[in-house]
Amino acid sequence: MKKILLTIIAAAISLSLSAQTIQRTEWGFSSKRTAHFVEHGCYHATIGKGEIEFVGKKATLTVGNKKKTYPAAEGTRKGDYWLMSVPVQNIKAGTAVDLWFPFIAEPADNSYPFAFEYLDGKQWKPVIATADKKGVNCYSSQSDKWPNFLWHTIRLENDIKSGNLLIRLRQCDKGATKSSLYGSGSSTAPKVIILGDKKPKDVTRVLFIGNSYTYYNNYPMMLKEIAWHEGHELECGYYTHGGYTMKQHLADHVSRQAVERGGYDYAFLQDQSLHSLRIGTSVDKNVVGEMGKMVAKIKEHSPKAKCIIELTWGRRDGNNTIKGKKLADLVEGYPHFFSDYATNQNIMTKNTTAMAQKLGVGLSPVGIAWQIVRRERPEIELYVKDGSHPSYAGSYLAAAVGYLTLFKEPFKADTPVRLKPEVAKYLRSVAERVVLKGEN
């Protein structure tokens, strides 16, 4: 039997997961290691690190795309599977584990059945409880570029004193001939997070539709962690695509699939990051109308869902950071919109707030909180180098605002994060001031 091995790296300090000694532990692909493996062959993980394997009788290694940034297996057959093996110790029975597993199966003209499973004691169990007799509980997307995002929480019924936490994605149909794990970057790659043994008091179903501002640092996963430690469990649907507007999401069948699953209580909608600047101008492109169509689409499949528009942040220097002619009409027609950060942010805040009011939906006022942090604590860097996308602190602030927008209650717990405790506490306090007290 042929095995294809990849390493996965820890985003925490330790190389093993322990519910007793580590408060927050995340494992994910390293895109550089993945590319190295694809180019140079089998890369064996050292002892103490986790592994990703593909187990198949006739499968051969190939690449996921032209950039060679994620692993794929070609010539796959029914019964073949991807296997994630994560070293753990002292994981108690009752511990909840969050699993994030994006994948693609080809040819992409069909949705292929898979079994998403984990080993609990000596028994393979379905991650998604709605499995049929063959174990089928999920399907690939009808795309050769964008994955189906499997994102679910399991609760172990047995202790793992020392050994490996095993998760697998098993092919249940002979029709698929290629399988890929979408690991092009740290935000989209497979992850395993130990949540702990708390038992949340309720369950809320939330959909996230957006672009890179949503998937950077996996902000929805941060929001889910915050909610967990505050006593709420989130079951999440998710689809993002870099640079997408609501019009593009409406035209994308993978995005529509996420919406059409239905049953959501809330839906966070994040439009292209500068799109709100168009509202009311000669280059408007029906921004409010397209958002309204998305709201209607969500309501069609989730009648009780409350839609929430993400009020995002302006560019760090107010300038347009998008290359090419995509925003040329806006930049050339309204150059004063890009004179500085404050102008950028103020127009976005005014237009996005008015859009939410017109459509009768909620607003997650991240941009307002962002502006306060920049004014009060400029040493906290909310951006990455491009002056547009969020740093880890920026995504945590967005998650804190999102949590309060959902639950309207002050924070009670200190969610474990990769920030200094004082910084995380301050960001939470700003989120409370904005969402709960209406500060701007």
CATH assignment of the domain containing 371: 3.40.50.1110
440: in domain: no
User: Is the same domain home to 185 and 202?
Assistant: no
Provide the β-strand partners of residue 232: 202
pLDDT score recorded for residue 195: 87
CATH assignment of the domain containing 42: 2.60.120.260
Ordered DSSP codes for 279-327? TTSTT-TTHHHHHHHHHHHHHHH-TTPEEEEE-----TTSS----SSTT
Q: What is the mean pLDDT of each run of 10 residues along the chain (440 residues)?
A: 42 36 46 41 38 80 64 88 83 91 89 96 94 92 85 94 89 91 68 87 97 92 93 94 95 92 97 96 97 98 98 93 83 94 97 98 98 98 96 96 98 86 96 97
pLDDT score recorded for residue 4: 44
User: Is the same domain home to 136 and 255?
Assistant: no
Q: What whole-number distance in Å separates Cα of residue 361 and Cα of residue 290?
A: 14
How would you label 278-310 residue by residue, b for 16+ Cβ within 10 Å and e otherwise? bbebeeeeebbebbbebbebbeebbeebebbbb
Report how far Cα 175 is from the mean position of its chain's Cα atoms: 29
User: Is the same domain home to 101 and 217?
Assistant: no
Ordered DSSP codes for 93-156? TT-EEEEEEEEEEESTTSPPEEEEEEEETTEEEESSTT--TT---EE--S-SSS-EEEEEEEE-
User: Is the same domain home to 85 and 179?
Assistant: yes
Can you give the residue range of the structural domain that contains 341?
198-435
Residue 191 φ then ψ, to 5°? -140, 155
Rounded to whole angstroms, what are the CA distances from 345 to 265, 328, 367, 440? Answer: 29, 19, 7, 12
**Domain end position, chosen among 194, 209, 231:** 194
**3-state SS class at 275:** helix
162: in domain: yes
pLDDT score recorded for residue 10: 35
pLDDT score recorded for residue 22: 35
pLDDT score recorded for residue 152: 94
150: in domain: yes
pLDDT score recorded for residue 64: 63
pLDDT score recorded for residue 415: 78
Report how far Cα 1 is from the mean position of its chain's Cα atoms: 34
